[in-house]
Amino acid sequence: MRTGATEVLAVLQQRGVDVCFANPGTTELDIVRALEAQPAMRCVLGLQENVCTGAADGYGRMTGTPALTLLHLGPGFANGIANLHNARRAHTPIINLIGDHMSWHLAFDAPLTSDIESLARPVSGWVRRMTGAADAVAAAAEAVDRAHDNGGQGVTLIFPADYQAEKMDAVETAAAKAEAAHPASTVSGATQTAARTISTPPPRADVDVNTCADRLRAAGKIVFLLGGGGETSGLGERAQRAAARLCDALGATAYAETFPARAARGGGLPDFDRLPYFPEPARAVLDAADLIVLAGAPTPITYFGYDGHPSQLVENDRVLVLGSAGDDIAAPLEALAQVLDAPAYLPRSHDIPEVDDGALSPAGIAATVARLLPANAIVSVEGGTCGYPFYAASAGAARHTTLTNTGGAIGQGLPVALGAAVACPDRRVIALLSDGSTQYTIQTLWTLAHEALPVVVLIAANHQYGILRNELKRGGQTLGERAAGLTSLDRPRIDWVELAHAYGVDATSVETTGELAAAMTRALDRPGPTLIAMQL
Amino acid sequence: MRTGATEVLAVLQQRGVDVCFANPGTTELDIVRALEAQPAMRCVLGLQENVCTGAADGYGRMTGTPALTLLHLGPGFANGIANLHNARRAHTPIINLIGDHMSWHLAFDAPLTSDIESLARPVSGWVRRMTGAADAVAAAAEAVDRAHDNGGQGVTLIFPADYQAEKMDAVETAAAKAEAAHPASTVSGATQTAARTISTPPPRADVDVNTCADRLRAAGKIVFLLGGGGETSGLGERAQRAAARLCDALGATAYAETFPARAARGGGLPDFDRLPYFPEPARAVLDAADLIVLAGAPTPITYFGYDGHPSQLVENDRVLVLGSAGDDIAAPLEALAQVLDAPAYLPRSHDIPEVDDGALSPAGIAATVARLLPANAIVSVEGGTCGYPFYAASAGAARHTTLTNTGGAIGQGLPVALGAAVACPDRRVIALLSDGSTQYTIQTLWTLAHEALPVVVLIAANHQYGILRNELKRGGQTLGERAAGLTSLDRPRIDWVELAHAYGVDATSVETTGELAAAMTRALDRPGPTLIAMQL
């Protein structure tokens, strides 16, 4: 039987949406029933909604196409907001499909009734409440395009249960209706909402190559800021090579944005550092520059507000914008390199520091992981403990893709690894994580086991919220007793091996770099997921 | 040094807020620093924010006073929304304190910038963005009263980091200012928001005892619906006894609302069933009644919309409202019993069904737990598997307090048990849960171990989302392959014993009622938390 739900799924699938990260409830049951008729849409169950939304983020970063999330009303959606916040910062296309009460039931304020729109807007570039089955099909068709707007964004469809069950014409008819309805830029009932945007965006260059080249020639010290995303982003392979050529030709330097959504790394690519996180070292890079070229990166803003430092670290008149997230950055960089007669790119060779066997340290972990990284791996990095050291060491690793936490909502690294593994079954996925942040979405381990995904989960277990301690101790302040208590995970220490086993994931604990290397080698040889607890 | 943060905490504590369930981040560090000066404010760390908000719900239900939650910006707050949704339905007073960026940093849309107000409004009766340190102190003072509005509600204070650090006068001065500022009903900058309310509320009786008595005398079949909350609610001891007397005098029947926030039970109290969840049995109760007396319970609304059933199960002209959540219900019920010459209440004796030793069943679990329940226990119930059977069996148990999932956002039972244990250190807390729902806030186990709280966690492990399967199979429908997959937690089965051990919680697995009885007896003899996995 064709219903609103079957037609919505059919239209989504026709338009390339064929993975659904799901945690449905009673108001989504007609969508669940409709999935029986869409066997080609892969369904991946998460035991908590941030698992689903984080996985959709990882999937979208790797494929450039939106995954579907299937979530339960306002409270279920709310559980997934944190990772949608990260996805918004990563410009990841995602389509959230949320059931709601029967439309005629809403006014009675039943226990699960909630203001879904208010919850959805902060993390959705486009929010639509469907007003009937035919409207739902049109909205689903439009959603796929809307998910690609603004360089990629989350869109949220609210689908009342009565319209899910509403009987409809055959799928061909519905799809045709959608096709007819879609190109119209507004659909009746559409609620278009814009996320908060920077108050004073720098003027966008028209990317006229000769004008840009003139400005580069005229500038003294130049810093390129490369922003990550798809293949042609500022941190794709082509853009990085072109940026290296421009640095050679101009005596310039280049940095990756601090938290790229996706960056190519290693395998002879240049070793561009990430722009530092704290304002002092970031300003040491930026204050000395006469021109900052934004190549897919946003204007550098301090992560938090710090007294004595401006929020926006460079004034607009020192900025040249080559393009933003979602734009092709490789082409203008290559054109500039040609116009400026930059030398050809020769693959670089970078050393991975040698480490002796011995007690684990962040630097030792970083070097060991970098050395053992298989070609074409995907590394999902979250947590300050090993994230920066690994980025430093990974220039000498085999070619790989790095995914980082773009929005600062923690609990993102493991679900993103899950989504990347679903997106790229022929690539090895490594999740390089910290113990504090991984707890927020720990249920991801079950889905890794359930789907038998070859993800190697590396947990840097220092039994504390290290980043908060670093912030608390800035400027020589001492750590008070309450502050120590609220940043300590030491009493009791979480047993990560038992935790992984509980969810059906193979696990081991290591205390030395030698043990880590052996465990990682074994893990990479296995088909399913493995967790390695790295005791610091 | 006195700062906005120290003064806010001082004012909150002066007004009785002395427990803080916390998961702070960088924008809350001056509040963390200020906690050093408030050693009497107990801080309980949660490893995910729904742990904190659910615990605050449990705490508020048991004490009637608000706990503080300390959460990190929009994404951190979002992680706690689901349990704030439940708390809203329970009318629990809670004060959420959320840090935000420095006020001057917000416009730059740094990675963690988010629309906190939009996220907060659906679960907050009152939302205030503080506009300075002095304003923050006034807002904190007002927040305590606002948390008691509308029968109890969540209120949310957004506290930018610069105002947290702003230097202030000594605490006495600030408190005096707060005192002066507070009684004013509006504070500059206040954003008062109302949650969505029922479209056509039934008219509220003026609770004139004689008028109500006349209406009761004139009515044929009468059903009392008792709603839960504090001591004088419709499910407090006094109200239940008075309702039983009225039932005797009038030939009426009485039901508890389906999901009470807090109900007294056992120990000779009457055995009032809960109004059934599904519409057919609920209508069997209500359709036959000439008069439905709402004694603290809301108008009965179906949980979801069901074709063929009205959303509002009784028309307004069949309803008599004695009082709503937060009102004293005991007094009018007792007055009615007196006016109607109802017989005195004699403690009732209820049998707990005998169960033979053998494989576990929901009924066997219910009877075993009811029989072993220590006097004055608190039972946090979540999950359909054992929830209903336990309620049925528990009338014959020792006097205890039952807390249920009021809003349908799952993952509530374990954090509520945590909060109840913090609130009532001299009472034993039992959490009677299901495996599916407990996963959403599994990190609560760590806090139970960290705080060494004497909570016995009973997990009914049937390795499925049972409630969804029941809904899917309503009306004789068969369970499709995809529906079975999306409601199965069977591959792999979660090892609850290893999971508990990983978080430092003692645990055992049981397969028979005899093993359960032995394990529960041992657990009740231990000082800290114990998890018992009940294999179904």
What's the confidence (pLDDT) of residue A310? Answer: 96
Whole-angstrom Cα distance, residue A299 to residue B109? 10
Of A26, A79, A446, the CB nearest to B494: A446
- Decide if A447 touches B, using CB distance below 8 A: no
Under 8 Å CB-to-CB from A179, ≥6 apart: which residues? A141
Q: Which of A194-198, A420-424, B366-370 has the lowest mean pLDDT?
A: A194-198
Q: How many CB atoms lie within 10 A of CB B249?
A: 17
The mean per-residue pLDDT over the stretch A185-210 comes to: 47
Tell me if chain B has a CB within 8 Å of the CB of A26.
yes
Phi, psi dihedral angles at A17 (to 5 degrees):
-95, 105
Contacts of residue B301 in chain A, CB cutoff 8 Å? 108-110
Cβ of A472 within 8 Å of Cβ of B32? The answer is: yes
Specify the pLDDT at position A526.
94
- The interface residues of chain A toward chain B in range 309-348, judged by CB-CB distance below 8 A, are 311-312
Residue B177 has pLDDT above 70, yes or no: no
- Would an 8 Å CB–CB cutoff place B113 in contact with chain A? yes
CA pair distance A499, A416, nearest whole angstrom: 20
**CB contact, 8 Å: B27 with chain A?**
yes
- Tell me if B30 sits within 8 A of B59, measured CB to CB: no
What residues of chain B lie within 8 A of the CB of A302, using their CB?
105, 110
Q: pLDDT per residue over B408-443, tens digit each?
A: 999 999 999 999 999 999 999 999 999 999 999 999
Residues 63-82 of B with CB under 8 A from A: 74-76, 78-79, 81-82
Q: Shortest Cα distance from A121 to chain B (angstroms)?
A: 8
Whether residue B194 has pLDDT greater than 50:
no
For residue B173, what pLDDT band results from cuts at 50, 70 and 90?
low
DSSP bridge partners of A507: A531
What pLDDT does A180 receive? 63
Chain A residues touching B97 at Cβ < 8 A: none
Model pLDDT for residues B218-272, shown as the tens digit of each residue: 999 999 999 999 999 999 999 999 999 999 999 999 999 999 999 999 999 999 9
Between residues 205 and 264 of chain A, which touch chain B (CB distance below 8 Å)?
259
Q: Do A109 and B33 touch (CB under 8 A)?
A: no
Q: What is the mean pLDDT of residues B446-465?
A: 97
Chain A partners within 8 Å of B383 (Cβ): none
Overall average pLDDT of the B20-37 stretch = 95
The pTM assigned to this predicted structure is 0.94
Strand order in the sheet with A455-461: A263-265, A400-404, A377-381, A429-434, A455-461, A530-535, A506-510
The model's pLDDT over A145-162, given as tens digits with 9 standing for 90+, comes to 999 999 999 999 999 999
**Opening angle at CA A180, ends A174 and A181, nearest 5:** 85
d(CA B399, CA B265): 6
Answer positive or negative: Cα dihedral of A76, A80, A81, A87: negative
Minimal C-alpha gap between B468 and chain A (Å): 6
Residues of A in contact with B91 (CB under 8 A): none
User: Quick check: helix, strand or coil at residue A223?
Assistant: strand
Question: Which candidate from B101, B311, B498 shows the least CB-CB separation from A502?
Answer: B498
Residue A362 pLDDT > 50: yes
pLDDT of residue A199: 37
Residue A178 binned pLDDT confidence (cut-offs 50, 70, 90):
low
- Is 80 exceeded by the pLDDT of residue B195? no
pLDDT-derived band at A206 (thresholds 50, 70, 90) equals low
Q: Which of A148, A124, A123, A134 is nearest to A181 (CA)?
A: A134
- Helices of type H across B328-472: 330-339, 362-372, 384-393, 413-423, 435-438, 444-450, 466-472
Q: Which amino acid does the sequence have at A142?
A: E
Q: Amino acid letter at A484?
A: A
- Paired residues of B418 in beta bridges: none
With beta carbons under 8 A apart, name residues in chain A contacting B482.
32, 35-36, 39, 43
What pLDDT, on the 0 to 100 scale, is given for residue B193? 38
Q: Which of A368, A528, A374 has its CA nearest to residue A456?
A: A528
Is the bond preceding residue A492 a cis peptide, omega within 30 degrees?
A: yes
- Both tokens of B16, joined, read 């009785």
User: Are B494 and A471 an interchain contact pair (Cβ–Cβ within 8 Å)?
Assistant: no
Q: Which residues of A touch B404 (CB under 8 A)?
A: none
Nearest to A78 among B43, B81, B102 (CB): B81
Which amino acid, B256? A
Q: What average pLDDT does range B111-129 have in this prediction?
A: 98
* For A303, nearest residue in chain B (alpha carbons): B110
Name which residue leads in pLDDT, B302 or B204. B302
Statement: residue A189 has pLDDT above 50: no
Cross-chain residue pair A110–B303, CB shorter than 8 Å: yes
* Nearest residue of chain B to residue A481 (CA atoms): B36
Nearest CB to A47 within list B110, B198, B439: B439
Query: Tokens 């990430």 label which residue?
Result: A274
| pLDDT (average), residues A270-294 | 96
pLDDT higher than threshold 60 for residue A196 = no
Of A29, A199, A501, the CB nearest to B498: A501
- For residues A465 and A408, is the Cβ–Cβ distance under 8 A? no
**Cα separation, B215 vs B200, whole angstroms:** 22
Q: Which residues of B touch A161 (CB under 8 A)?
A: 304-305
Please spell the DSSP secondary structure of B280-342, one letter per residue: HHHHHHHTT-SEEEEEBPPPPB-SS--TTS-SBSS-GGGEEEEE-TTS--HHHHHHHHHHTTP
For residue A200, the distance in angstroms to the closest alpha carbon of chain B comes to 8
A411:B48 CB<8 A = yes
Q: DSSP class of residue B16?
A: T
**pLDDT over 90 at A71, yes or no:** yes
Chain A to chain B, count of Cβ pairs less than 8 Å apart? 306
Decide if A45 touches B, using CB distance below 8 A. Answer: yes
- Could you tell me if B36 lies within 8 Å of chain A, comparing CB atoms? yes
CA distance B533 to B536: 9
A contacts of B115 (beta carbons < 8 Å): 121-122, 195-196
Chain A residues within an 8 Å CB radius of B162: 305
Residue B457 scores a pLDDT above 90: yes
Query: Which one of A77, A118, A490 would you mutate to disrupt binding with B, by most B Cβ within 10 Å of its Cβ?
Result: A118
Mean pLDDT rounded to a whole number for chain A: 93
Summarised one tens digit per residue, pLDDT across range A324-345 is 999 999 999 999 999 999 999 9
Kind plus residue range of the DSSP H or E element containing B499: helix B496-502
pLDDT in tens, B476-497: 888 999 999 999 999 999 999 9
Quote the distance between the C-alpha of residue B65 and its chain's center: 13
Among A402-406, B184-188, B211-215, the least confident range:
B184-188
Shortest distance between the Cα of B407 and any Cα of chain A, in A, equals 5
Rounded to whole angstroms, the Cα distance separating B151 from B232 reads 12
Interface probe, candidates B20, B23, B27, B32, chain A, greatest A C-beta count within 10 A: B32
pLDDT in tens, B327-370: 999 999 999 999 999 999 999 999 999 998 999 999 999 999 99
CA distance, residue B242 to nearest chain A CA (Å): 28
Which positions in chain B touch A102 (Cβ < 8 Å)? Answer: 304-305, 307
Residues 6+ apart with CB under 8 A from B180: none
pLDDT in tens, B59-94: 999 999 999 999 999 999 999 999 999 999 999 999
**Substitution target from B51, B57, B494 for chain A, most A beta carbons within 10 A:** B494
Report residue A423 CA to chain centroid gap. Answer: 13
Nearest-Cα distance to chain B for A156, in Å, is: 15
For B380-397, write each residue's pLDDT tens digit: 999 888 998 999 999 999
Question: Which among B19, B47, B127 is the top mutation candidate for probing chain A, defined by the most A β-carbons within 10 Å of its own β-carbon?
Answer: B47
CA distances from A369 to A373, A384, A458, B139 (A): 6, 16, 9, 50
User: With an 8 Å Cβ cutoff, are A81 and B78 in contact?
Assistant: yes
| Share of residues in chain A with pLDDT > 70 (%) | 93
Beta-carbon separation of B499 and A495 below 8 A? no
Residue B140 neighbours by CB distance under 10 Å: 30
SS (HEC) of A272-336: CCECCCCHHHHHHHHCCCCEEEEEECCCCECCCCCCCCCCECCCHHHEEEEECCCCCCHHHHHHH
In order of A73, A105, A170, B307, the CA distances from A112 in angstroms are: 7, 11, 33, 18
